Structure 1
Amino acid sequence: MRHTPRYLMTDPQEVKRVIRANPWATFVSPAAGGLVASHYPAILDDTATQGDDITILSHFGRPDDELHELGQHQVLIIIQGPHDYVSPSWYAPGDLVPTWNHVTAHLYGTPHVLSEEENYNALSMLTDHFEQHMPQGRSLSEDDAGTRRAANGTVGLRVKVDRFEARAKLSQNKTPDVIENVTAHIAEHNPALADEMRRVHGNSSAEGQAHRLDVG
């Protein structure tokens, strides 16, 4: 990940927020046969996390666990937050270089493969996490025997993140008036990304406008 200082996210709590809001992850492993990538849900395991520590809970479908050689080496977990194309038509005249705004986190750690019972508990936790907001949310406990049979086709994993690299590229290199214009255009079709821009810039547009008036 490119380390442009103005775009870096270094606060673990902010990274946790991005994970909570974007729980579909890409897992990349340097397996013996070459790089392997798979896509699975990933949530924070708050039962195993304290302070600024980050622990990811997920599961793989068999035989992905063998392809990734889970537990034998470090993996990269990519969390992709909101992202979108930024048109130079939203910039001042003469500024013609387009870009792509995005929020992305790279998490590194070695998976701990869960036991059969731990895996079922993890699957229950994952299901409850996503079902809690459903009008008629379901639970694996409604059919313990049947869902345990289905769970045999999966392998649970817990990853304590050793380090992370995160980037929020959200037009920080632009003037407050351009940032405001870009945010307004993005909000028309990508409100989640617009919210990230507002979060990063806060009152910077108003402060920048006041500064221009002071020196004007």
Structure 2
Amino acid sequence: MHPNPQYRPRQEDLPALFVREIAFAGIFAGTPDGPRVAHAPVVLSEDAATLQFHLSRGNGLTKHLDGMTALAVVQGPDAYVSAGWYAAADQVPTWNYIAIEMEGPVRKLDDAELIAQLDTLSAEHEARIGIDPPWTRAKMNPARFSQMTGAITGFELRITAWRSTLKLSQDKAPGERESVAAGIEASGHGALAHLMRQLGEEGKSA
């Protein structure tokens, strides 16, 4: 997490919105085999108190996670910021980015909880892509579905700490911020430029 308090989200619900929108995280933990990270789709609970995910049984984290404290990191759009985009002299290049960290103890899910997680995950993302009718596991042979779920393990991280960084040039004057947003947009990172401008408008009305 960046130490500058200007890069903290003002809206309390913003980190959860990013987690739900991006829905993919790196899961980090120390293990007897050394530090490990796994990458997985995630489901944030409605009250933003827990984060569920599943891993292959062969993943280096799977056999260790139950009962451990882990760190989940969801990363949003990011882009290089050229010092040449600033009107002011004596600037240096930097990087704008969004990163949401969630820390907490992890427990293993039982089979019913794992299936519920998979149903929720597919329902949410089928709705996003707009397939009609959406895919559901009812389209699968139950024996094949059971075989495939037997190859993964579900987990739930109970979130005891959120640490969020939205580094979007908040430390710059509005004109400099727009110059950076324009440069980022021109370099092919329109989503990040949009977020910079949106954050700037919210700052004006705060």
* Pairwise same-fold verdict (TM > 0.5): yes
Distance 1:203 1:109, change over 3 A: closer
Q: TM-score, normalised by structure 2?
A: 0.89
Alignment gaps of 5+ in structure 1:
207-216
Mapped to 2, the partners of 1:93 and 1:8 lie a distance apart of: 25
Residue 67 of structure 1: CA displacement? 4.6
Q: Report SS of the residue matched to 2:103.
A: strand
Match of 2:49 in 1: 54
Deviation digits for residues 1-41 of structure 1 (CA, Å, limit 9, x no counterpart): 23211112365411101101211110001112211111001
Provide the residue aligned with 1:178 in structure 2. Answer: 176
The Cα offsets for residues 164-185 of structure 1, whole Å up to 9 and x where unpaired, read as 1111111111111111111122
> Percent of aligned pairs with the same residue?
25
The answer to whether the Cα contact below 8 Å between 2:104 and 2:160 also exists between their aligned partners in 1 is yes
2: CA distance between counterparts of 1:109 and 1:203?
Answer: 31
Give the number of aligned pairs: 202
User: How far apart, in 2, do the equivalents of 1:91 and 1:109 lie?
Assistant: 40
- Equivalent residue number for residue 35 of structure 1: 35
Name the CA distance, whole Å, in 2 between partners of 1:117 and 1:180. Answer: 50
Q: Does the residue aligned with 1:130 lie in a helix, a strand or coil?
A: helix
What does residue 116 of structure 1 align with? 111
For residue 42 of structure 1, give the secondary structure of its aligned residue in structure 2: strand
Verify the 8 A CA contact 1:62 1:153 in the aligned structure 2: yes
**Structure 2 residues not aligned, in runs of 5+:** none
State the match for 1:99 in structure 2: 94
Alignment partners' CA distance in 2, 1:112 and 1:83: 31
TM-score (norm 1): 0.85
User: Aligned in 2, Cα 1:72/1:203: closer, same or farther, shift over 3 Å?
Assistant: closer
1:1-20 superposed matches below 5 A: 1-9=1-9, 11-20=11-20
* Higher-Rg member (1/2): 1
What is the deviation of 1:203?
A: 6.0
Alpha-carbon distance, 1:205 to partner: 7.2
- CA distance in structure 1 between the aligned counterparts of 2:118 and 2:158, rounded to whole angstroms: 18
Aligned pairs for 1:76-87 (under 5 A) are: 76-87=71-82
Maintained 8 Å contact 2:57/2:63: no
**Deviation, structure 1 residue 187:** 2.3
Q: Which amino acid aligns with 1:73?
A: M
Aligned CA-pair RMSD: 2.2
Q: How far is 1:87 from its partner?
A: 0.6
CA distance 1:162–1:93, shift in 2 (3 Å): closer
- Per the TM alignment, residue 190 of structure 1 is displaced from its structure 2 partner at its CA by 1.2
CA distance in 2, matches of 1:159, 1:199: 31
CA contact (8 A) 2:36 2:61 kept: no
